[in-house]
Amino acid sequence: MFRFATELCAWVATPWALAGWSAWAAAGSVVVLIGLPTLFATPGDKTQVIVPVPGAVTVALVLLQLVAAVAAAWAAWPAWAAVTVTALATTCLVTERRRWGRLLGGSGG
C-alpha cells in the first residue's frame, strides 16, 4: 500500500516538476517511472515477468521511485505536500525491508 502510494506520487510529481523545463523530460519521466518496473521484474516477486532481473534491480527501481517522488514533490508542490510525500516514502522504506531482504537473498528481518 505504501509503495503504491509513493509510486503514484512519483508518477504525478515528477512530470509536474519537469514540465516547466521540458515537456519531453516530463513525458520521459513517466515512461521511465512506469515502464521500467513494468518491463523488468524479479521472478517470484511478480506473477508476470517480461524481462527477468535479479532482486537488486527490483530494489533499485523502487528506490528510484522513492527518490523521484520526494525530490519532485519538493520541487513542484507546497511544503505541506512535500512533507507528506517524504513521510510516505520514509514509511515505505520501513515496510519494504522484509521484501528487499528476500529480493537481495537475506532474511530482511
Residue-wise pLDDT tens digits, 25-82:
999 999 999 999 999 999 888 888 899 999 999 999 999 999 999 999 999 999 999 9
Is residue 89 within 8 Å of 66, Cβ to Cβ? yes
What pLDDT was estimated at residue 45?
Answer: 85
- pLDDT at residue 107, as a whole number: 53
pLDDT tens per residue, range 76-97: 999 999 999 999 999 999 999 9
**DSSP assignments along 8-77, one per residue:** HHHHHHHHHHHHTT-HHHHHHHHIIIIIHHHHEE-BTTBS--SEE--HHHHHHHHHHHHHHHHHHHHHHS
Whether 108 has a pLDDT exceeding 80, the answer reads no
Considering only CA atoms, which of 56, 49, 38 is closest in space to residue 99? Answer: 56
pLDDT band at 105, cuts 50/70/90? confident
In this predicted structure, what is the pLDDT of residue 106? 65
**Segment 3-18 mean pLDDT:** 94
